Structure 1
């Protein structure tokens, strides 16, 4: 939110009070509390009829420093608040130090510095003493507006050339400089500034991050209100933010997800191809069976079948009852599908239509959100007379889970938790939560309720969602998909931008609707999107008004689907290893280039390519004719599909057929490949291939590669060393035979230790 009129003036009726000088200071072993006057105090009378801002500095975890500043502390705080599982769990306690007028708070490699002899300012420095950012002259304030609203506002400096990323899944430009971003859940598609997944966290190219610990609306001005500052404000009496240390972007993500929660590890089967009935298409068991038969007849492995909205009867979403006209024997149908090796997903949402049998039941028990006058909140958007489940009520959460449990008993394996963004603010919540703060936070309660049920019923490691909405901490309940996009190349590109932005907001897993959701894609769009979709962490064929079975788009689309599905299955030992890393550290499976190459300035703006795990560069093709431009960082890279090499740093302009795209292996990589390309959850040590890509002239290659099992634990480790023209691989944890392939064509097989002579 902007408060100023240019650099010199305030907007009409707006008044800002800035922390100006320290009038009192309390310093304990691990905390600083400063009382800042909002004007220069030149005599005792100046302390009257004015305000103080109370500023507290503390550390909730190693490498994280929190700043909380308050105007009036007496405001009632009904919640909700973000759950921060990593708070107070740091291994290195914060410590303070006072040297004359300067007081410091340090936590790990991060230090906050306050000089009480100077005008107000908080400076944050990294482990090398370098200044990262600062809250300067106007950096700590409260602001009143003509409508009587009271805002707390912070400004943190932007250095020359500093770039800002993240703030959730945003479809606007990847670098957020120059943008106004409101953290406010909205069902706005993928073609506007609105977003389904709003996260008040940003990552800086200078090696730090900032998390605003406020679940309600946070308004960010990223170099807009003041071009040298990131401003963020909330309508409240208190604002709390955390500066998170690097120095690398991965370090920032690791610390941020330790604080807000690490993603669960999705089951291996979920990485295979998902096919859905699509939304408004006509379908029944015969249709579903024809789709499954069609995939099998065309030799396309299918892992998950999803039933979208109309598995339930019209006007009755959600009642969690199968439409008997289309599915007279749902239990039998699911048994038949599961006998074919499929997992089952069904669509749900947290809205209860008035015609649903659950409406009267939920109303009578007090499980639906009510207006301030006691009426149940309802409207006719989406479903007639729909109401909203009140997940702040523990009994309502249990009631909702109890309605889903029979579906699990029938054979359903997971749920697509759609919606959760259209949450009103003119309501009263069961637990007394502030409606404004609950608007964004609702999705966290919704997805947690469903995920907890799956973990309880299916066991840890088997729970997975396909969720649309999220906020900070939502990464704990994967997977999330990109929402309603158009069937066009432009929407394909904006979907990727959104996913890369989300990945820099702490989310380890992400997917999207292959071919686009709205409308019917041109076959060229569909085929290009297939390669992109099957080189994402999760892959789903889904649409709105038309089916997304590949033969609807021609035989070439069938071939492309098969090619990239089989390829993804072979890559699973590598991909699931990256998934296990995301689970342990928060570093995402799909990584913006800057995450792997922060030292390369060319990588800082790239939003049409990404790293899939640490060693695969993917550049989707966004044209029908196959023209693609992409950047290759330093070193000699190898095209995985063709074996050709390219030496960077260099920009490449290439043309690819529909069965190809730039898919490059990083120099020095050792890529574990499975032998079974029919399923994503195979025994990856059975017939394992290690494809080694030594960099030219790299006579001292040393690499250790782990191969996970289906739980994400390391099943075997392979130690790879090079001595001149001999490459030695030693297996640890397995005595099974494996194959070693060198990019130059040399091949050896064996068990235990394998030695390959380079050509």
Structure 2
């Protein structure tokens, strides 16, 4: 018995030794300021493989290198029973952001998440449309886990007994400072695979880390100009004649409109789809599309990728689909080239080739009760989990490629994305409809490498309608999504004039929006981003606002108040949306001087102000020295080659500089150098009067700038 017992103990010891494999990651700087380590045996199919991301090497080189933000020995990795355990250090005065598209929280320290592509269901638990496994620290670095798995995250919540900085054990009976959540000095993650690729992005600032992440994934998308105009999605069973009447009403009433979205009724069958036109509602699709283009309006079509038995591609694609159906439709395995060829050839022939400009890709996220289960299998051998985490990426990648082959840019909507999807010209949306949470999601999108729109669908009052419209005007896509409600910009007559004014402001600001998206592409700067990425707004003891209303917690001394209702829009603008029922609100201004967007008046700096803008204004503030280029309020984006006049506004007391971007607005020729940045400079002439100038157009490059005028919005001190 003794020998047998010893043998069993020996076998148990060997088993444990084989199942635990502690590793010290070896870091290699693969691009300036970006380090990579591989632990265990990373899976060959991951987020970067699915997205096809390639780094923007020139842009990363221009950023220069950075210091590795950790002591390498503080990062640990273990492979235990086929799973990868990762641990990254946290300092006490450190906040973290990211881990995907959240709707209710911006600060993520102290949270437990499972990063899982899904419909958002009202709780920030990691199940969301873009659960990007990337986080950013207030110390100015980022961490990305390149795995297409459901990743468990303990973001400063778990305490190891051998912790370098353990919390103090307190007696709940007598110590009023006892807390159920003791201080934790680590971010720990569990990847259900026998290895993972890890990337670290250096700073020195948090925005620098975000920029490196975006550029590593190819840089942000650059939409066509028309994509930044105004869009209306019509009722799901609209006919060709209904759509034409809708467009005519916009024109007759003087509301801008650049593209119309057709919902499921454009197809002969949907849920699952046939991907061919319904000839009852759209008897002549080619003629209809061309008629709309002649009106200056493009079409965007709703699809989900589940193939109806009645589809013309049902038989040919069947062998390349998964084991389970969705709404009785087959699920193509888009990692297989032949599946892609069959599916996207149908879209190309029936839609793109006749002039359709883009898609709304629905239901590639969840719920579990709708999509394939985790027990499903796919002919490529990729697991159901991996397909769930990457299906939105695959649809974005290959639909974009279809338009790229035509040298025509697209801009559309999608329900799921993930790490690696930065460069795709798609904006996320969902069925959730909380206005405040929409703004929080817009803020979090800047940490997730995605774009998000706080769309408008319906409202109970004219006030709510206008407040929602104001938010979408200052977002990546100005959209009314009326597939169910049938609402139109003028649906609430009492606020219709103010809605029109806001829609026209969106058009006036197109030169600014287009230039800011160019910075997203070429420099990795999110066009809409969290205040925490703005210089002068960093967390820390020198911050202008300290926590005063949070519940007692062990991190309070290090944090500013969680700011989730105001954000930066482009280089110079701070946007603070109003919500239904509000007459006034508080706005936190970063250090430096800030000015009212509408009047140019000084409003403050490094302080909290209270504003009462009235119903027809959304509070917007401009950084000192800010330059905002505007164009006339056209009803459609400028056509290819069309010149528009510019009014260039300058705000504040500092001289200003701005890089105005220009290209043909529709093609991918900018990737071959067919673009220009023209420098705008505003300074005082002989130190007395403001004077503005713009650099000359570059010979042989696109030039859409007509006459240029300057408006100096802020009076001098002595005149105030």
* TM-score tier (shorter): 0.7 to 0.9
- Work out the CA distance in 2 between the residues paired with 1:160 and 1:679: 52
| Higher helix proportion (structure 1 or 2) | 2
1:55 equivalent to 2:16? Answer no
- Work out the CA distance in 2 between the residues paired with 1:87 and 1:409: 31
Structure possessing the higher relative contact order (Cα contacts under 8 Å, 6 or more residues apart): 2
- Work out the CA distance in 2 between the residues paired with 1:212 and 1:644: 46
Q: Tell me: CA distance 1:728–1:51, structure 2 relative to 1, closer, same or farther (3 Å).
A: same
Aligned to 2:322: 369
Alignment of 1:585-600 (within 5 A): 585-597=523-535, 599-600=537-538
- Work out the CA distance in 2 between the residues paired with 1:295 and 1:286: 14
- Work out the CA distance in 1 between the residues paired with 2:69 and 2:515: 37
Aligned to 1:703: 657
| Higher strand proportion (structure 1 or 2) | 1
Asked if the contact 1:216–1:441 (Cα under 8 Å) also holds between the matched residues in 2, the reply is: no
- Work out the CA distance in 2 between the residues paired with 1:50 and 1:739: 70
Q: 1:480-509: CA deviations, max 9, x gaps? A: 1221122xxxx11111212221211223x4
Alignment of 1:568-587 (within 5 A): 568-587=506-525
- Work out the CA distance in 1 between the residues paired with 2:59 and 2:651: 38
**Correspondence for 1:311 among 247, 266, 275:** 266
Q: Tell me: CA distance 1:190–1:260, structure 2 relative to 1, closer, same or farther (3 Å).
A: farther
Aligned to 1:493: 436
1:564 equivalent to 2:502? Answer yes
Asked if the contact 2:518–2:661 (Cα under 8 Å) also holds between the matched residues in 1, the reply is: no
Aligned to 2:168: none
- Work out the CA distance in 2 between the residues paired with 1:469 and 1:456: 23
- Work out the CA distance in 1 between the residues paired with 2:600 and 2:59: 46
Q: 1:203-256: CA deviations, max 9, x gaps? A: 111100000121211111112223322111111221332221001122112211
**Correspondence for 1:471 among 389, 410, 418:** 418
Asked if the contact 2:59–2:523 (Cα under 8 Å) also holds between the matched residues in 1, the reply is: no
Aligned to 1:213: 146
Asked if the contact 1:171–1:195 (Cα under 8 Å) also holds between the matched residues in 2, the reply is: no
- Work out the CA distance in 1 between the residues paired with 2:214 and 2:532: 18
1:740 equivalent to 2:693? Answer no
Q: Secondary structure at the match of 2:485?
A: coil
Q: 1:243-274: CA deviations, max 9, x gaps? A: 21001122112211222222231101110110
Asked if the contact 2:515–2:660 (Cα under 8 Å) also holds between the matched residues in 1, the reply is: yes
Aligned to 1:180: 112
Alignment of 1:637-652 (within 5 A): 637-652=594-609
- Structure 1 length as normaliser, TM-score? 0.78
Aligned to 2:48: 82
1:225 equivalent to 2:158? Answer yes
With 623-632 and 266-275 compared, the bigger mean Cα shift is at: 623-632
Q: Secondary structure at the match of 1:665?
A: strand
- Work out the CA distance in 1 between the residues paired with 2:253 and 2:626: 34
By how many angstroms is 1:638 displaced? 2.1
**Correspondence for 1:289 among 244, 248, 251:** 244
1:393 equivalent to 2:336? Answer yes
Aligned to 1:689: 647
Alignment of 1:115-154 (within 5 A): 122-123=72-73, 134-135=74-75, 139-144=76-81, 150-154=82-86
Structure 1: where are the runs of 5+ without partners?
1-38, 40-44, 94-106, 115-121, 124-133, 145-149, 371-376, 747-756
1:407 equivalent to 2:373? Answer no
Asked if the contact 2:259–2:297 (Cα under 8 Å) also holds between the matched residues in 1, the reply is: yes
Asked if the contact 2:69–2:202 (Cα under 8 Å) also holds between the matched residues in 1, the reply is: no
- Work out the CA distance in 2 between the residues paired with 1:354 and 1:47: 51
Q: 1:150-198: CA deviations, max 9, x gaps? A: 4221121221231111112112311112221211111235555321112
Asked if the contact 1:369–1:428 (Cα under 8 Å) also holds between the matched residues in 2, the reply is: yes
Aligned to 1:511: 453
Q: Secondary structure at the match of 1:540?
A: strand
Asked if the contact 2:60–2:216 (Cα under 8 Å) also holds between the matched residues in 1, the reply is: no
Q: 1:699-723: CA deviations, max 9, x gaps? A: xx35354353444733532232224
1:456 equivalent to 2:405? Answer yes
Alignment of 1:313-462 (within 5 A): 313-315=268-270, 317-363=272-318, 366-370=319-323, 377-379=324-326, 383=327, 385-405=328-348, 406-421=350-365, 422-457=371-406, 459=407, 462=409
**Correspondence for 1:267 among 224, 238, 255:** 224
Q: Tell me: CA distance 1:449–1:702, structure 2 relative to 1, closer, same or farther (3 Å).
A: closer
Q: Tell me: CA distance 1:49–1:742, structure 2 relative to 1, closer, same or farther (3 Å).
A: closer
- Work out the CA distance in 2 between the residues paired with 1:289 and 1:686: 27
Asked if the contact 1:591–1:611 (Cα under 8 Å) also holds between the matched residues in 2, the reply is: yes
Structure 2: where are the runs of 5+ without partners?
1-12, 160-183, 366-370, 540-544, 546-559, 698-704
By how many angstroms is 1:388 displaced? 0.5
Which 4+ stretches in 1 moved above 4 angstroms? 45-52, 84-93, 189-192, 682-685, 734-737
Aligned to 1:717: 679
- Structure 2 length as normaliser, TM-score? 0.82
Aligned to 1:542: 481
- Work out the CA distance in 1 between the residues paired with 2:500 and 2:275: 34
Q: Secondary structure at the match of 2:448?
A: coil
Q: Tell me: CA distance 1:309–1:569, structure 2 relative to 1, closer, same or farther (3 Å).
A: same
1:529 equivalent to 2:529? Answer no
- Work out the CA distance in 1 between the residues paired with 2:508 and 2:56: 42
Asked if the contact 2:271–2:306 (Cα under 8 Å) also holds between the matched residues in 1, the reply is: no
For this pair of structures, how many residues does the alignment match? Answer: 635
By how many angstroms is 1:600 displaced? 3.8
